[in-house]
């Protein structure tokens, strides 16, 4: 069916350079047909998000053309204009506003269309919200707060919102929605991913999807065609229904080398016998029970378990964000008590990095400021308590760059660097290996 159809969306020879040096995209062309899921894969920094941001008007390309339904049109100048033409995006992070109710979140930014003589027409919004959730098989109440929903449901509400945005913005026009999902499954567990995909597959009748991912088995299972980007260039394209492609082929195209062996060589032991953290029968009722382990200096310890098993709660307890009901927590030989606030744990050397950059970084601040924020003592002037961010900047070559302007790999490095800049402590052991400096 596809070969002779006109793509609903096509870009040709798109290039984009940042700051005159970073060639994020180099003559990239992709096409999306009606009712298909198109994968875009590549290593960190390959240019995937840049391409997606160009499609929704966040970035302007240096060159290239956009065709919608076979007709050349200018690139959108902002996300609203993109939605008017049928293109909308669900970002990996920062998508959800936790304290909005589901129906408020669904219509966020479109309230003017629901303004009645007596104010906002909430009942109409709730009714229409119920309809769209039913249409996409999303199980939740429109009056639930977003933070109350499981992550997979939150993602589905975000996807429903993207489709709704296209419908509301393109009123009266016949547009074919193309929904971009930029690594939507990254924070989800295996079961949550499956659930999300079952829903997305059902939505294929109404929408086309561009699916950005790192997870090869997921791409192989769910997408119809896949484009591979490497260093800003399109290096491969596979039609998974027609081409005999293996996971190894895809992996090879992504990394650009033959070696596929994930070898985990026995690491040289650098762990000392000094126990820096002892967790003994730790219990927080309703979350986890009787958890015990020890962490030695220089050790990197993994905590593994399915969603809801309590692993994040154990870490949040150690960081002082949650209390505990029973058991013992000993940090560098000193017992820590329930109710002790996070800043006390921080002084004892415990850093906590949830991995959710959207919650932990100030995106409009420079990298240098972000790295310094949990470490203010070090940058306070000796005689005048003025924050000397210049001090930190010395250690950080790209410190003047805005954190929000970086790719996702770089923001994660900034996150870890925050804690690395802290005085030596358990947090460093928890982080495991020293992260590469953002400037490296």
Q: Which residues bind ligand ATP (CB under 6 A)?
A: 18-19, 22, 24, 42, 44-50, 405-410
375 or 403: CB nearest ligand ATP: 403
Give the one residue of 16, 49, 317, 401 binding Mg ion; rule: CB under 5 A. Answer: 49
50 binds, among ligand ATP, Mg ion, none (CB under 5 to 8 A by kind): ligand ATP
The SS3 of residue 50 is: helix
| Contact (Cβ atoms closer than 8 angstroms) between residue 398 and residue 437 | no
Nearest to 278 by CA among 419, 426, 425, 422: 426
Q: What distances in angstroms separate CA 297 from CA 281, 289, 302, 332, one per listed residue?
A: 21, 25, 14, 10
Min dist. Cβ of residue 382 to ligand ATP (A): 35
Residue nearest to Mg ion (CB): 49
Q: How far is the CB of 407 from ligand ATP (least distance, A)?
A: 3
**Quick one: 9 or 46, whose CB is closer to ligand ATP?**
46
Our CB check for ligand ATP shows the closer of 114 and 365 to be 365
Residue (19 or 205) nearer to ligand ATP, CB: 19
CB of 40 vs ligand ATP, minimal distance in Å: 9
Q: Which is nearer to Mg ion, 367 or 426 (CB)?
A: 367
Residue for token pair 């850093």: 351
C-alpha neighbours within 13 Å on the C-beta side of residue 327: 22
Smallest distance from ligand ATP to CB 379, Å: 25
CB of 158 vs ligand ATP, minimal distance in Å: 17
The nearer residue to Mg ion, 312 or 408, going by C-beta atoms, is: 408
Residue (49 or 366) nearer to Mg ion, CB? 49
24/56 with CB nearer ligand ATP? 24
Q: Looking only at residues 389 through 418 of this chain, which bind Mg ion when binding is defined by CB under 5 A? A: 408
| Burial degree of 235 (CB within 10 A; 0-12, 13-18, 19+) | middle
Instruction: Check binding of 375 to Mg ion (CB under 5 A).
Output: no
Size of the site for Mg ion (CB under 5 A): 2
Least distance from C-beta 59 to Mg ion, angstroms?
12
Sequence-separated (6 or more) residues with CB below 8 Å from residue 121:
114, 115
Nearest distance, CB of residue 182 and Mg ion, angstroms = 6
> In the complex, what is the shortest distance from the CB of residue 271 to ligand ATP, in angstroms, rounded to a whole number?
30
Query: For binding to Mg ion (CB under 5 A), which residues are involved?
Result: 49, 408
């Amino acid at each position: 069916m596809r070969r002779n159809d006109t793509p609903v969306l096509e870009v040709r020879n798109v290039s984009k350079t940042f700051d005159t040096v970073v060639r994020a995209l180099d003559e990239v062309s992709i096409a999306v047909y009606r009712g298909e899921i198109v994968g875009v894969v590549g290593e960190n920094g390959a240019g995937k998000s840049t391409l997606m941001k160009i499609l929704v008007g966040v970035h302007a390309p240096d060159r290239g053309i956009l065709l919608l339904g076979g007709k050349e049109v200018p690139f959108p100048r902002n996300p609203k204009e993109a939605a008017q033409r049928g293109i909308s995006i669900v970002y990996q992070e920062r998508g959800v506003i936790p304290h909005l109710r589901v129906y408020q979140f669904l219509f966020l930014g479109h309230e003017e269309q629901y303004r009645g003589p007596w104010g906002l027409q909430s009942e109409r919004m709730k009714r229409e919200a119920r309809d769209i959730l039913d249409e996409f098989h999303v199980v939740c109440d429109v009056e639930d707060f977003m933070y109350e929903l499981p992550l997979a449901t939150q993602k589905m509400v975000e996807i429903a919102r993207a489709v709704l945005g296209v419908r509301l913005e393109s009123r009266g026009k016949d547009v074919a929605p193309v929904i971009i999902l930029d690594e939507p499954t990254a924070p989800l567990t295996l079961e949550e991913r499956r659930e999300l995909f079952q829903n997305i597959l059902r939505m294929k009748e109404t929408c086309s999807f561009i699916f950005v991912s790192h997870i090869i088995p997921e791409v192989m299972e769910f997408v119809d065609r896949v484009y591979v980007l490497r260093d800003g260039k399109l290096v491969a394209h596979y039609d998974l229904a027609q081409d005999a492609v293996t996971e190894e082929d895809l992996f090879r195209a992504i990394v650009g080398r033959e070696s596929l062996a994930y070898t985990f060589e026995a690491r040289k032991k650098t762990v000392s016998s000094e126990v820096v953290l002892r967790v003994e029968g730790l219990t927080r009722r309703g979350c986890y029970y009787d958890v015990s382990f020890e962490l030695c200096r220089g050790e990197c310890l993994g905590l593994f378990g399915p969603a809801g098993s309590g692993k994040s709660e154990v870490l949040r307890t150690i960081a002082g964000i949650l209390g505990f009901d029973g058991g013992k927590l000993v940090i560098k030989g000193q017992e820590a008590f329930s109710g002790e606030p996070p800043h006390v744990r921080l002084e004892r050397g415990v850093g906590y990095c949830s991995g959710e950059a959207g919650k932990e970084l100030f995106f409009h601040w420079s990298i240098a400021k972000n790295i310094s924020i949990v470490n203010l003592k070090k940058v306070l002037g000796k005689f005048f308590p003025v924050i000397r961010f210049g001090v930190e900047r010395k250690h950080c070559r790209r410190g003047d760059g805005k954190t929000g302007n970086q790719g996702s790999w770089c923001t994660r490095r900034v996150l870890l660097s925050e804690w690395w800049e802290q005085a030596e402590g358990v947090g460093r052991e928890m982080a495991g290996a020293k992260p590469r400096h953002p400037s490296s």
